[in-house]
Structures are given as structure tokens and as C-alpha cells.
Amino acid sequence: MDYFARYFSEKKIADAMVLIREDFFQATLSTLYITLMSTLFAILIGLPLGIILVTGDAKGIRPLPRWLMSILNWIINLLRSAPFIILIVLLMPFTRMMLGSAVGDGGVIVPLVIAAFPFVARLVEGSLRELNPNIIEMAQSSGANTWQTVFHVMLPESVPSLITSFTTAITTILGYTAMSGAVGGGGLGNLAIAQGQQRSNHAVLLAALVILVILVQIIQTFGTWLARKSDKRLKN
Amino acid sequence: MIEISNLSKSFVTASGTVDALRNINLTIHDGDIYGIIGMSGAGKSTLVRCINMLERPTEGNVRLDGVDLGSLSKKKMQEMRHHVTMIFQSFNLLMQRNCLQNIMLPLKLTHMPKDQAVKRATELLATVGMADKAKAYPAQLSGGQQQRIAIARALATDPKVLLCDEATSALDPKTTHDILTLIREINQKLGITVIVITHQMSVVQEICNRVAILENGTVVEEGDVSEVFSNPKARATKRLVYPDMSAGIETLGTEHNQMVRLVFQGAEAATKPLLASMAMECRIAANILSATTRTLDGKVYGTMLLNIPGGPEELARAVQYLSGTGNVRVQVESEYAQQMGQTPTGEEE
């Protein structure tokens, strides 16, 4: 009973209702904006990097020097092992250099991209490695160069798998946006921390959680549907 | 003309160096359908990949019309592969692209304008008998149909040479026959040299004019298909030509000495019942132990293993009688062969 009295008192629920009416819509848009922008840039960097991880491999179609591949792998692993909240703080000077300010929505997008592109690169690497090696051999035996093999064969053949990977990326990044409150970024995460946790109003926390759950469900359902629809291997 | 000279290929593996091919020398003439046959692990796939330089030979070289393919620049090598194309056991079609787009792939690689590429691919669909499948995806096709699309794709850039790597090994006998017929048509109509890699003697028998037998990375026998078939010399060849017979001989025990092998090289099938007339005329009732004969255009090809009852005298009479008939070669499979003063190859015709 104490728990409910403390976190879900009538007054707090009334406060929460006001917040939900006035701030939640804006916060949801903010979350979506941060998520989509971060995902976009993470893919722009992570996709080519993932391709290089596969083609530049010792057994890939265009092996790169071993030391270079080691460095790439090392950087990716390093960035992936850093907790996001630490990354945000460490990257503040860099964010300020890029955007002139390290706070606000932009302040969270920059560290999010840095945190997410190595993850996307690994996802892309996984998708491309799933490809039947015979298909790559076919491309090579047809006289395709590295560029053509990637763009006419590897990527088109991996589309369903890449869609699945990018869906995973979006939902993961959506989760990360919750930490945007730490640098004054907007969004549901910030609202939940500032209004819900710090003011002990768990009704706000729950409301934010419900919206995030719904967003993840929608994105995942749509991603899965798109991946299935794009896959021509499934006979209909 | 493809000249393979002193070609060797070794792979470095964790457990040491493996010699996949050793000192291969072959000449494949324009217009040939050249079979390269061997058991799995003999090195066939490595050899065919050395021909289009997917695998770089460790030693020796491959010349196409006098040009050493190993010396080509990367760009020239890619260009060469538009002239030496390949089909595969697993077809290797792009599963996310429809048939027309699959056939257009090599044309895209050569930067042919799209409208021209569509026109060419549509023609090729008709060539392989798949005109109605332009918009179908590979997953909707049977294995034989997929291989037809793969053949159309291989023909798109007007190649000089078509490499077939176990192209029919995943297909049922009827479909295999259809695909081989298509390959022969392509060879004859378009004058494309075909190199067929297979482990099935029947494939070589059906379409090849020349054959090389590969065992443990070396060519143990090479020549005209009819010659190699009717007179196999190397042990590996005999195993391939008479796959079912060695087992039979062991179980026959004491009757070893009374066996005769008939090799049909296009004998008239219907005109004369050979064994029945031998029974009537010589009073020798031969027993058929095994037969791997087939009839093509009314003529018989293949071998038949006979048990001749009686002693050496009956055997000699049987050999004499059988040798007197056209297009049949007789071999005595016994220790009596030498006593009778005959070489195991017997007489011809």
C-alpha cells in the first residue's frame, strides 16, 4: 500500500494526466526524430563498414591488409563495449565541435550515431556472411569486379536479411534514446526520468513505457512484414 | 583452343600442403564437348576453376587461343570471364531477382544499355525454352528450369567456352537428359566449346566427344570417348566404365575363367539376336552376368559380361563366333586368355 501511496497518489496521477495531455505528443515526436536521424547516420556509416568487414576479410573478395582489418575490428569492438551513458559524456567535446552545442536533441544524436554505427556494421556483416558463397563465386566467374559483386549481387541478395537487421537497429536505438535526458535531449526517456523518476511519479514512467512498447511493436511488426514481403525465396 | 600445360595446384592447409592437381596436360579443341571425369576428390572442380582462373595454378599455365590466362591483368581477366562462362551444380541463380533479371546480370556487368539487355535476355529465354518464365522467380522453378535459366545467363555474353561444373548432378535422369540435349544443341548451333565436369560416366557417354579421366589430381587416361569406353586402360577408368562389375566377379568364384566381355561400339541392335544365334549355331548357352548397354539411334553401345559354360574349347569357339559379328569387341576376362594366345583386348570387329 505504501508503494501505491507514494508513487501513484491521486495527485500524482492527476499530474501525470496533465503531462500526458500536454507534453507526451511532443516527446514522442522528439523520440522518433532522434531515433530516425541516429539510425539513418548509423546506417550511412555502418553499411559501408559492414561491407568492408566482409569483402576485406582474408577470405573475402578483396582482402585488405591484415593490420587494417585488425584496427577496424578493434575500433568496432571498443565502441561497442563502451556503455552508452559514458560515451555521451566522453563525446561531449566532440559533439560540441560538430554541432556547436552538446545538449538538446542534437547532443544525443551524435553520441547515438557513434554508439550505433559499430552495431549496425556488425549486423550488416552478419547479413552478408549469411549469403551463399556459391553466389559470390558465380559473380566472380561472370567477370564481376569487387564493386559490381557488392552492388549487383551481394546487397540485392541480402535485402530481406538487411531489413531485419535494420529493424533490430532501430528498436535498439529507440531504447538508447531514453538516456537522452542526461544531456537535455528531448523525448520520452527524458520525460520519464525528469518527471517520473525524479519526482517519484511512476504513472508518468508507466505511460512513457507504454508508448515506447507500442512504438517498438509497430516498428518490429512493420520491419518483419517488409522483410517477408521483399523476400522472393518464399513461394506465394 | 584451350591448352593446359604442366598445370599443378596445391593448397596450403593447417595440416600441410595438399596437391590437388599434378602436372596436368590437356588440349581442348574448338567445338569439342570435353568431359573431365573422376570420383569426388579427384580434383575436377579445382581443374575447372583453374581454367577460368578462379583458382590460380601453382605451376604451369592455361592458354586460350594462345593467350596465357595467368598473365592477364585483373581487368582483362574479368573480360575473359565474359568469354569463358560457367554453370554450376547448384545453379547459383540470384534468388531475389526474376529470370529475366538473372539473365541480364552478365550484360549489366558489361554495361550494355538496358533496352538492349532486355531484348537479348528475352531472346535467350526463348533459346532455353523458358519464354513464359521471364517474370518468375527462381524459387518458383524446378531444378531443371533453374539450370535452363543459368545456361541462358551463361550464354548472354556470347562466350567461346562454357564450363559445366557437375551441372546435372542435382537433377533426375530425365531432366539430366533434357539439359544435356540443350547443351549439345548449344554446342552445335552456336559453336561453343563445352567442358563438362562430372562424376557420372553416363553424362560423358551421352554428350562428350573427348574425355579425360582424373584420379588423385592427375590425368590417368585421355582420348576419344568411344575409344576410352571400349578399351579402358587405367584402373580408374575401368572402375568408371564398369562400375558394377568388379563386385560381380568376386562372387563368381570358380567360374572366373569362363567370362567374356562384349563391348558394343554401335552394333546393329535389332537385326541379329547375337546370343540366341550363338546358342543355336555353336550350342553355347551364354549366361548374361551383367550388362550396361544402351541403344542410341538403333545402335547398341556399352558392355555385356557373359559366362560361357564348358571348358576352354567352348570359350574359344564363343570368342571366335562373337568376334565374327560387326562392331562388337570381345575380351576374355580370364587367366586362359594368355594360354589361348590372346591379348585381353581381343580382336576388333
CB contact under 8 A, B82 and A140: no
For A202-206, B60-64, B106-110, B146-150, which range has the lowest pLDDT when averaged over its residues? A202-206
Contact B36, B65 (CB under 8 A): no
Q: How far apart are CA A41 and CA A31, in angstroms?
A: 16
Q: In Å, how far is B12's CA from the nearest CA of chain A? A: 14
How many A/B residue pairs have CB atoms within 8 Å? 73
**Chain B residues touching residue A61 (CB < 8 angstroms):** none
B12, B75, B81, B94, best to mutate vs chain A, most A CBs in 10 Å: B94
Nearest chain A CA: its distance from B202 CA (Å): 26
Q: Which residues of A touch B97 (CB under 8 A)?
A: 156, 232
Contacts of B77 in chain A (CB under 8 A): 143
Average pLDDT over residues B235-258: 60
Q: Please indicate if any CB of chain B lies within 8 Å of the CB of A61.
A: no
* Closest CB from B82, B94, B153 relative to A135: B94
The whole-number pLDDT of residue B296 equals 65
- Average predicted confidence (pLDDT) for chain A: 89
Distance CA B86, CA B83 (A): 10
CA distance A140 to chain B (A): 7
Contacts for A150 with CB less than 8 Å, ≥ 6 apart: A51, A55
Q: From residue B89, give the alpha-carbon distance in Å to each of A11, A14, A33, A104, B150.
A: 73, 70, 49, 58, 10
Separation CA B347–CA B328 (nearest Å): 9
Q: pLDDT for A56-105, tens place per residue? A: 999 999 999 999 999 999 999 999 998 888 888 888 888 888 888 777 78
Nearest CB to B96 within list A134, A232, A235: A232
Percent of chain B with pLDDT over 70: 88
* A233 Cβ under 8 Å from any chain B Cβ: yes
Question: Is A160 in CB contact (< 8 Å) with chain B?
Answer: yes
Proportion of chain B above pLDDT 90, given as a percent? 59
| pLDDT-based confidence at residue B341 (cuts at 50, 70, 90) | very low
Write down the pLDDT at residue B8: 95
Cβ neighbours of A148 in B, within 8 Å: 108-109
Q: How confident is the model at residue B230 (pLDDT cuts 50, 70, 90)?
A: confident
pLDDT (tens digit, 9 = 90+) per residue, A93-151? Answer: 888 888 887 777 888 889 999 999 999 999 999 999 999 999 999 999 999 999 999 99
Closest by CA to A54, choosing from A163, A153, A168, is: A153
- Best of A127, A141, A152 to mutate (most B CBs within 10 Å, chain B): A141
Q: What average pLDDT does range B304-309 have in this prediction?
A: 82
- CB contact under 8 Å between B94 and A233, yes or no, is no
Element (H, E) at B3: strand B2-13
Q: What is the mean pLDDT of residues B164-168?
A: 96
pLDDT attached to residue B44: 93
Best of B91, B96, B111 to mutate (most A CBs within 10 Å, chain A): B96
Best probe of the B interface among A155, A232, A233, by most B CBs < 10 A, is A232
**What number is the ipTM of this complex?**
0.87
Give CA–CA dist B99/B139, Å, rounded. 10
pLDDT of residue B271: 62
Residues A178-204 pLDDT 10s: 877 767 777 888 888 777 777 777 888
List of chain A residues whose C-beta atoms are within 8 Å of the C-beta of residue B105: 142, 152-153
- What band does B298 get if pLDDT is binned at 50, 70 and 90? low
Identify the band that residue B173 occupies on the pLDDT scale cut at 50, 70 and 90. very high
Do A152 and B109 count as a contact with CB atoms less than 8 A apart?
A: yes
DSSP string, B55-116: S--SEEEEEETTEEGGG--HHHHHHHTTTEEEE-TT----TTS-HHHHHHHHHHHTT--HHH
Rounded mean pLDDT of B20-33?
A: 95
Nearest CB among A134, A148, A232 relative to B139 is that of: A232
Inter-chain CB proximity B80 and A143 less than 8 Å: yes
In this complex, the residue of B52, B82, B97 whose CB is nearest that of residue A156 is B97
The answer to whether residue A136 neighbours chain B at the CB level (below 8 Å) is no
pLDDT for the residue numbered B288:
81
Residue-range domains of chain A with CATH: 2-234 (1.10.3720.10)
Asked whether the beta carbons of B74 and B105 are under 8 A apart, the reply is no
- At B348 the pLDDT is 38
Could A141 and B86 be called an inter-chain contact, meaning their C-beta atoms sit closer than 8 Å?
yes
Q: Where residue B15 falls among pLDDT bands split at 50, 70, 90?
A: confident
Residue (of A229, A202, A191) closest to A22 by Cα position: A191
* Choice among A151-165, B100-114, B258-272, B330-344 with the minimum mean pLDDT: B330-344
Compare A47 and B246 and report the one with higher pLDDT: A47
Contact assignment for A144 to B78 by CB distance below 8 Å = yes
Nearest by CB: B108 against A135, A152, A234: A152
Residue reference for cell 573427348: B210
On the question of pLDDT at B248 being above 50, the answer is: no
User: Taking all residues of chain B, what is their mean pLDDT, rounded to a whole number?
Assistant: 86
Q: Is the pTM of this model over 0.90?
A: no
For B103, nearest residue in chain A (alpha carbons) = A142
Average pLDDT over residues A12-25: 79
How many angstroms separate the CA atoms of B71 and B60, rounded? 11
Residue B246 in this model has a pLDDT that exceeds 70: no
- Coil, strand, or helix at residue B161? strand
